[in-house]
A and B are shown apart, each in its own frame.
Chain A
Amino acid sequence: MLLIPCPWCGPRDEAEFHYGGQAHVAYPADPAALTDEEWARYLFFRDNPMGPFSERWNHTSGCRRWFTVTRDTTTNAITPETSR
């Protein structure tokens, strides 16, 4: 049960959140202009690092806001990214 720092509500138990995977993967500006391969990269390929990982969480059982933290996937050490 991670203790996740919601920028709006404060630290809360992991069970209150929904995980959103890698952060900073923008929806392509013009999907139609992409090749199939480029589109596949957007759809299916995400970083999977062993170490610090910038990731998204949604405080579904709280304020319902999305935010970003950096979490180390080997130690679970969390550093907030999103600021209020």
Chain B
Amino acid sequence: MSDRLWNSPEPDGAYDVVIVGGGGHGIATAYYLAKNHGITNVAVLEKGWLAGGNMARNTTIIRSNYLWDESAGIYEHALKLWEGLEDELGYDLLFSQRGVLNLAHSLQDVRDGVRRVNANRLNGVDAEWLDPAQVKEVCPIVETSPDVRYPVLGATYQPRGGIAKHDYVAWGYARAASALGVHFVEHCEVTGLEVSGGRVRAVETTRGRIAAGRVALSAAGHSSVVAGMAGVRLPVQSHTLQALVSDLLEPVHPTVVMSNAVHVYVSQAHKGELVMGAGIDAANSYRRRGAFHIIERQMAAALELFPCFARAHVLRTWGGVVDVSPDASPIVGLTPVDGLYVNCGWGTGGFKATPGVGWCYAHTIATGEPHPLNAPFTLDRFTTGALVDEHGAAAVAH
């Protein structure tokens, strides 16, 4: 393939599949539609610049150590794909399996952590329980003294977890999908969904009407808005989630550390900056600017865990709009409208699932039936009560 990343053609009048939302999930879905299912007459419509939403704003953490079988299934599928993705796409993603620690600060955190480790292992997901001394071995800069306000009592550890460069992931997928014939149409906002006879027929956009055999929504924080255009109501709420980076530092942090209890998650990117996630703003919002007190709290918590970060500097803060579901699990599958599919509700953690959800969502769109791995994540579960409650494993952290 050439140095060229992707083509941005004028949209055709009709496609077999139109994907609404050119984020990581939308791009990966297009790639797998073309690669796995031979469906190449596909347009990905992006209202802004490609992968400029949460794909450009997340803290790039990758892991699959979720509690419930349903979650482990799809996230572990994603992680296995991650492990071969640079070769598959022929693109450097700076994928680094440097391990992910989830710290426990209370006896109940310990129980929950051990529970998750045991469940992970039985699900074939690598997981270890570490005591504070072992935490210190994996990440020497973590404060493990028992004399702090909320001492580290242990941690779950997934050695295969890690980070990747978010932009490169999007670009690698887009480049490969573009080579297979997918159209990426930027600055093309969907303004309406045309439904007749219970079936979706076309999308209205700021660049004209585009007929579509099938329409797949992948609009993250804006899912409610686009689904609403077809009269589909989703049980998600949009919130601003913030993150920040520090200045460039000599290597100091060898792994990824997450702490739900004190709302810290941090890694050090290849260039040297610390990449940190903050808490979620309380009120519904479509703004990409969050509240500053969230950042202040984040810093206080971070220094409790990493006193050596005291004189690192916050260089840049930003926010993204995430769509949060009632059980902290995604919704991937069919809608009441024929030919209209939905992928949303990933909340604060969609990046790590990118390959897995792209794979499964493409299957769902291509076959009209959910892939077994996304079958549990139906809209219907909110009616039956069969939730996949991952609040413990997902929390605010990625």
Contacts and interface: CB of A to CB of B under 8 A. Distances in A.
A53 to B, nearest CB: 6
Contacts of B293: 1, 14-15
A48 B292 contact: no
A26 interface: no
A69 to B, nearest CB: 10
Contact of A36 (B237, B238, B384): B384
B224 interface: yes
Given A37-B383, A40-B383, A48 B237 contact: yes
Contact of B287 (A1, A37, A48, A76): A76
B189 to A, nearest CB: 12
A45 B286 contact: no
A19 B279 CA distance: 15
A21 interface: yes
A73 B382 contact: no
Nearest to A17: B282
Contacts of B222: 50
Contacts of B97: none
Contacts of B323: 48
Contacts of A63: none
A1 B236 contact: no
Contacts of A36: 383-384
B285 interface: yes
Residue of A1, A14, A40 ringed by the most chain B CB atoms within 10 A: A40
B291 interface: yes
Interface residues of B, number: 23
B284 A73 contact: yes
Contact of A76 (B282, B285, B384): B285
B233 A45 contact: yes
A45 B381 CA distance: 12
A18 B285 CA distance: 15
B235 interface: yes
B291 to A, nearest CB: 5
Nearest to A53: B284
Main SS of chain A's interface residues? mixed
Contacts of A53: 284
Nearest to A76: B287
B382 A55 contact: no
A63 B47 CA distance: 43
A12 to B, nearest CB: 13
Interface in B346-398: 382-384
Interface in A21-46: 21, 36-37, 40-41, 43-46
A48 B291 contact: no
Contacts of B5: none
A11 B326 CA distance: 31
Contacts of A44: 235, 326, 382
A74 interface: yes
Tell which of B224, B283, B293 has the most Cβ of chain A within 10 Å.
B283
A55 B285 CA distance: 12
Contacts of B283: 2, 14, 19, 55, 71
B301 interface: no
Contact of B286 (A14, A15, A50): A50
B236 A14 contact: no
B234 interface: yes
A48 B383 contact: no
Interface of A: 1-2, 14-15, 18-19, 21, 36-37, 40-41, 43-46, 48-50, 53, 55, 71, 73-76
Given A21-B284, A73-B286, 7 more contacts: A2-B283, A14-B282, A48-B224, A48-B238, A73-B238, A73-B284, A76-B285
10 contacts: A1-B293, A2-B291, A14-B283, A36-B383, A40-B382, A45-B235, A48-B224, A49-B224, A73-B287, A74-B287
Interface of B: 222, 224-225, 233-238, 282-287, 291-293, 323, 326, 382-384
Shortest Cβ-Cβ A-B pairs, 3 listed: A48-B224, A19-B282, A44-B235
